[in-house]
Structure 1
């Protein structure tokens, strides 16, 4: 029972921290506010996480560790580049619809602490592009797709998936839409982005 209680407390802390970090950013978040949101006292919060930085990293790592292995598996399976693009786009957008704060988390932390992502890079499951890049090279060589590097193709795909989440308020204002319609547009992008990228590299 004690172990279960501890796990439940940690889940409450991470969930509270996620919401506070999402709305106020790393610098605006306060440990007392996170403790209050989690329904615990500040001493208990510090027992689990000694500093706000460690708590931020835990929230980020918890979410990223769910996504990274999925993307890594797609990039390194034996399917074609076209199939990889379809699966990557669908998985990434599906995940971000459930965790819309994550892209801004990454940008906030990179602006604050460039070394943070280097620690993440050493974790098992961090996406490895080597097979993807070689596969793009081979498909270009075989005249299956137009001339493009693996790096550029990956950046193009990732950018089209990421920006709507990072620029959500701006996009909603520009296209004059409400939250429900915006989410429908994002859902449709699972196919739209994949088709756009695939059509751009098709021979």
Structure 2
């Protein structure tokens, strides 16, 4: 008789895997450790996920599918570029504070498997910047913002939001911060980053 996968067990596995991947990375993570943290045996873990790669992708997709639709909604709503920058920054930082492993997951996997993101692009809700590009061009033509390509503006937004999380140990060392101080810095960045970008492109 075919076994039926239990949603609660699967959630336990994903949570355990998230914690192990976060602390050990993809290469350092071991299936036995994940099984132990999930409170199941290794055979059961392999029944749900045949390999560490498949488990990694499941953890990544679970987190990414929570974030991507939020960002896609912001990029494609009818708000101004200024409001988009504010909302994007606030939503992204809020999300990554709750899922701090995600940026490094992305970097690690892109370095190890550059084609991985192509599979993610096929998923519904993957961020689309076409409307954002059109809005940037329109606001440049109207003189609302300074001349800048939408692609460069989007990269600036992504870079200023992502880097402090990817380089957390470095940021903490440079600023002599503990975890509490670091979290306060990240909370402040919700407005600091948005204001910095907005002030750099506003014409008045």
Q: What is the TM-score of this pair, normalised by structure 1?
A: 0.97
Shift of 1:24: 1.0
Shift of 1:194: 0.3
Matches within 5 A, 1:1-203: 6-203=6-203
3-state secondary structure, aligned to 2:163 = helix
Once superposed, which parts of structure 1, at least 4 consecutive aligned residues long, lie more than 3 Å away? none
Aligned length: 201
Distance in 1, matches of 2:114 and 2:6, equals: 32
In structure 2, stretches of 5+ residues that fail to align are none
Q: What is the TM-score of this pair, normalised by structure 2?
A: 0.97
3-state secondary structure, aligned to 2:6 = helix
Residues 75-122 of structure 1 show CA distances to partners (whole Å, capped at 9, x for unaligned) of 000000000000000000000000011000000000000111000001
Distance in 1, matches of 2:46 and 2:65, equals: 23
Q: CA RMSD in A?
A: 1.2
